[in-house]
Structure 1
């Protein structure tokens, strides 16, 4: 007898949606974004930023006095743009549209204007603002940077299947070569409104919803969202969004070839005095093997490999939010990763909580209790 049990079901979600819950997609989105194009940051010290970037595994594709473009080995656009500014801040994401017609369609629908991008990048863009106040660019027809050599996967002896004889494994302790930008995670005080905006404007679809334990009837508080390219599989999440006391960047993730390059690259970062935030482990939602680091400006960045790919047919999973549910294996989530390390950041988060509870948004006392329960679970 054939076992038709799908092991994916047990890890992807606790159970599917029940009647009346969010469907995880818009019926008639304006356009369907194909991918993340890049992330834009502002930093005061580009020399320090570039030094970390090289250790992390990026390649510099453009360097001027006031601008730094970082790329992976995959062909395409740079995946991180950094401009010199008075303070460190996340400016916003840029999503790649199918073509310039979609950019124009989005501009017309939102009352915005399509404009040419700088010649160093090429193409066109429309600048939007999501309900959290974040600048969101949608771009198309950029110059395509040629692919670069990447690290080659090792040959493995898996169990009794022998593929390597009279040869050793010696992965070099060197930067893990970033292949591409994978996803960005954002926190918002207006989670549902912002989620719906991305589904309706960019045609993104939800892979997984998380809810606070004991509060499922109040709706989800986090979503892992992918691009809808029909039958073409895409990353489990290109954007993840969570309800919290402040509108802010949480982290961004960059694909590397395999576990050995990720682990050896981590040793390379440690050797140079950089700080690991959390890792190495394997997530549940998305299944990625992960390793999180803090850059010199305090931004959380992730190396990942072996992530899930879904096509448009898979419906959203639903599961309770819990710190213990962040990984299948690996060390427990750290206070640094959860944003609970005592010090300046914790005080800033406390002030954000107090401010959010006084304002008209989706973050209330019930949500605060649910969040604290999740962090301590």
Structure 2
């Protein structure tokens, strides 16, 4: 049985023992930057392109988004919580992810970021207005940091259903009947990205945006080569925030894996899933509960084959929780639920995937044959 460890400040923490009995080893990545340019407060929104905005709007409503603004060229989607929109979809030739936008804590952070990166602060095309700095991460993905002039007001949401627990039986003479309706999205939670230059991307998000690591994953037998996945949260000091706002993992591709949107509770997630299934949408994986982050999850494909997640009941960490370390494996993805599907894992062969592998192995990046074999082993473990 593992014993409780002390973090660098001497504070007892069980977090590391949940993932590795030894925790971080001497000389391993600290999971934070000593002097970041700024510290972003959260994700603001995600940007996509799709050829058919009308079809995109139908799926958006079925998945549980509200329409914040709509023009002939773009569609802004939101949740019920007050704040910025969750997503913008612009009309384009194909269905694809453009990049994330992070929320600056202060307007002055944009000036500091622009000076440090040699870029400009410009007007943001977000409902209500604002300012934005446009960057590229080391994999070439466009990344925005925004400060909005106005926030969207709160909308009516779904109330969590009252539950009876053993002798704690507060619900009497009141049958439980969750309505068969779309899950009502509350907010954007996180985005997961694949990159061929994992170490460079990781350091860029920590050094430039001030994010910190909650958990590292490494390949079996290759821990000495460093991690190959990181679950990364925003640093808001003593304020507890989502276990991960961004997750990065090494792979043959560069770009979007999935994005996640919070709903009220398990009933909202499950009833919303039934609603989607009845309308012919395809579940990728779920329902289950993750290990890292602890979220209840349910993954779906939109009509353009992009993956989106409903989640509820995720972990919240403050600044003083040290990074955990664990081997990467498919069995480590969930505490309970059906086995992870090949669709979710991206393990189904396709011409594009084969092309990505060939290009990655030929290119100047971090994916060599040993790394690729380690990733394939992790998928099957």
TM-score by length of structure 1 reads 0.96
Query: 2:337 maps to what in 1?
Result: 330
* 2:107 is the counterpart of 1:96: no
SS at match of 2:206: helix
Please give the residue correspondences for 1:1-377 in structure 2 after superposition, counting only pairs within 5 Å.
8-13=15-20, 15-118=22-125, 120-342=127-349, 346-377=350-381
Distance in 2, Cα, partners of 1:14 & 1:88 = 43
Give yes or no for contact 1:40–1:82 (8 Å, CA) kept in 2: yes
Question: How many residues align structurally?
Answer: 372
- Shift of the 8–108 alpha-carbon distance from structure 1 to 2, 3 Å rule, reads closer
Deviation per CA, 1:331-351: give whole Å up to 9, x if none: 010010011234xxx221111
> How far off its partner does 1:9 sit?
4.6
Q: Which runs of 5+ in 2 are unaligned?
A: 6-12
Distance in 1, Cα, partners of 2:188 & 2:364 = 34
Distance in 2, Cα, partners of 1:190 & 1:108 = 25
Give yes or no for contact 1:77–1:142 (8 Å, CA) kept in 2: no
SS at match of 1:195: helix
Structure 1 segments (4+ residues) deviating >4 Å: 3-10
- Shift of the 172–314 alpha-carbon distance from structure 1 to 2, 3 Å rule, reads same
SS at match of 1:207: strand
> How far off its partner does 1:165 sit?
1.1
> How far off its partner does 1:355 sit?
1.2
Distance in 2, Cα, partners of 1:9 & 1:358 = 37
Distance in 1, Cα, partners of 2:15 & 2:113 = 36
Give yes or no for contact 1:25–1:206 (8 Å, CA) kept in 2: yes
> How far off its partner does 1:143 sit?
1.6
Distance in 1, Cα, partners of 2:316 & 2:270 = 22
Q: RMSD value over aligned CA atoms?
A: 1.4
Distance in 2, Cα, partners of 1:193 & 1:220 = 12
Distance in 1, Cα, partners of 2:4 & 2:33 = 31
SS at match of 1:230: coil
Distance in 2, Cα, partners of 1:12 & 1:102 = 35
Deviation per CA, 1:279-306: give whole Å up to 9, x if none: 0000011000000000000110000000
Distance in 2, Cα, partners of 1:15 & 1:245 = 30
